[in-house]
Structure 1
């Protein structure tokens, strides 16, 4: 799964990277501890690419409130096309979610949670496959999204059995639906040499922790 990540790219750099028009309500960066239910950056295809703000936590249209059901921050690639919450979004509403790196946890012999920071081997930005849904109730209206996950590759499986689906630049257009059908074939693990990881301070275990020290190796 993916339950926490970091983003340090400025909005103008993200807009240039994706050749997208930025919205004027984008979340502040850098953010070294992006948590579920907060607003994140995402790229959607809407008469061209747009860089927009989305709530991390997919809200199906039948939810009567943001907390009206389970918190859906991830969507499993193996079942996304079948699950009622995600199947329409998988066909029609896919997005790109940029990050600098993400976190996973293991446990020591005493059950303490040990955080790891995972980043691209070449230190380039990572791009998650995402799906999104518009949600509106009682005067609240926003985009919501989930990160698509798959079985871990050999590298990631040393610390977790799941990982986000990572998209390289050459397939961004296909995932967004710009290059015709075939997005289902993209929901596979990244190559084993694509990622590196290292231990970071347990301070990041708190969703209130902030600052660049959260991604510093220990």
Structure 2
């Protein structure tokens, strides 16, 4: 079963935000800055539209984010976090694994967003940052999402020097369980 919520975004458009398994191009909840420099929730579409029709970029590598023209401005100016209860990876035997915090609590993925002009107006798009894996993810995958500790959310969003240094931070250990496909 899938549970969805319909919300009104900043442009007045009704959009459907999923709360179970999320896929690229879905609308997701992000935390970012408003005009008063307060961290507030917002709605973005996961993935940047590429230069070619149908091209979608969903992740940015922490090691090269500032070198990539597509990402550098958004990384410097509009960082956000994405609250999640877990993320999926597939092992070498094609088993689907769910990675979570040990206490099954919400944790936060580092990312950034941009406003992109479309044929129908404007869309706010977001990217999830990836980094080298920690010990719990490395046996399964060579990358993992950049996890922002709860007490560092505002620093990640507001302080570029902090964000640059955080790109090489050690990631917290996670647990994983196999889930049905």
User: What TM bracket, shorter-length normalisation?
Assistant: 0.7 to 0.9
Q: CA RMSD in A?
A: 2.5
1 or 2, which has the higher strand percentage? 2
The residue matched to 2:49 in structure 1 has which SS? coil
- CA distance in 2 between counterparts of 1:116 and 1:147 reads 19
Aligned pair 1:124/2:105, yes or no? Answer: yes
TM-score (norm. length: structure 1): 0.71
Aligned pair 1:198/2:177, yes or no? Answer: yes
Structure 1 residue 163: deviation in Å? 0.4
Q: Unaligned regions of 5+ residues in structure 1, if any?
A: 1-7, 12-21, 203-218
- CA distance in 1 between counterparts of 2:104 and 2:55 reads 34
Bigger relative CO (Cα 8 Å, ≥ 6 apart): 1
Correspondences of 1:32-111 after superposition (within 5 Å):
32-46=20-34, 47=36, 48-59=38-49, 63=51, 68=53, 70-108=55-93
Tell me, yes or no, if the aligned pair for 2:49 and 2:55 is still in contact at 8 Å: no
**Any idea what the Cα deviations from partners look like across 1:97-133, whole Å, max 9, x if unmatched?**
011111000132xxxx210000001221010001101
The residue matched to 1:130 in structure 2 has which SS? strand
Correspondences of 1:139-150 after superposition (within 5 Å):
139-150=120-131
Structure 1 residue 82: deviation in Å? 0.6
Aligned length: 172
Moved over 6 A (4+): none
